[in-house]
Structure 1
Amino acid sequence: MDRITLTGLTATGYHGVFDHERRDGQPFVVDVVLELPVDTRSDDLATTVDYGAVARDVEDVVTGEPRNLIETVAGEIAERCLAHGRVERVTVTVHKPSAPLSQTFTDVAVTISRSRHV
């Protein structure tokens, strides 16, 4: 299976369980790996997936309805990615680099994989 990868898509969202997260928002960073058969002999966008449309879908979910969990955000992104007809499998990582932790950390992230055949 071939892959198209979008790395570091960043948008402000209002996800989290705390009031200040939903009020103030914070950056979320998303990585998406789309697995699909790519016809490399064709030079037609219809034979692949429009990664610009995928990026807009990711941004719409991140900036959209607030969710308590980034697991839910990742799931919604995965569902939208699978709606692009040629995508067979998707792996989504949602990073929450400003998560409300008192410990020193670099990142908090959730990674999920979904397939249209499961």
Structure 2
Amino acid sequence: MAEPRDRRPGDRITLTGLRVQANHGVFDFEREQGQEFVIDVSVLVDLRAAASADDLAQTVHYGELAEAVVAAVEGDPVDLIETVAERVAEVALSYPATIEAAVTVHKPQAPITVPFADVAVSIVRGRA
């Protein structure tokens, strides 16, 4: 007998490369000078009802999500980008249609003494 299929949809709304100036970091100069953070967020949403009814209220308004994510990242400074990622996931999960949120926080000017292309933390959070 075949295993039952996972009933969760594979529909996603994805925002890539949101750029935010913020003052997160462990070092004093990061808190004082700030730096750019780049945020990717993807929300798992069942889009069937929104698509069939052509109804924005049944999905996640990506413009509002983008603004809310930027506001969350601009908020109170924290030491870790892990904390920033959790903050963004909480915002994404605050939308009723969101089932799961995948977040990546990039810190392209991280204070590292060797050449690098990117530093990023990625998390996936779902509803409890």
Question: 1:24-78 CA deviation, whole Å, 9 max, x = no partner?
Answer: 0000000001001002212111011111111111111111100100000000110
Match 1:97 to one of 99, 108, 115: 108
Question: 2:37, 2:106 within 8 Å by CA — same for their partners in 1?
Answer: yes
Determine the structure 1 residue equivalent to 2:4.
none
Determine the structure 2 residue equivalent to 1:53.
64
Q: CA deviation at 1:13?
A: 0.7
Q: CA deviation at 1:83?
A: 0.5
Rounded Cα–Cα distance in structure 1 between residues aligned with 2:91 and 2:69: 8
Is the aligned partner of 1:109 residue 2:120?
Answer: yes
Report 1:1-118 matches (<5 A). Answer: 1=9, 2-38=11-47, 39=49, 40-116=51-127, 118=128
Task: State TM-score, norm by structure 1.
Answer: 0.96
Rounded Cα–Cα distance in structure 2 between residues aligned with 1:79 and 1:62: 12
Which 10-residue stretch deviates more, 37-46 or 4-13? Answer: 37-46
Rounded Cα–Cα distance in structure 1 between residues aligned with 2:86 and 2:101: 10
How well do the aligned residues superpose, as a CA RMSD in angstroms? Answer: 0.7
Greater gyration radius: 2
Rounded Cα–Cα distance in structure 1 between residues aligned with 2:29 and 2:72: 20
State how many pairs are aligned: 117
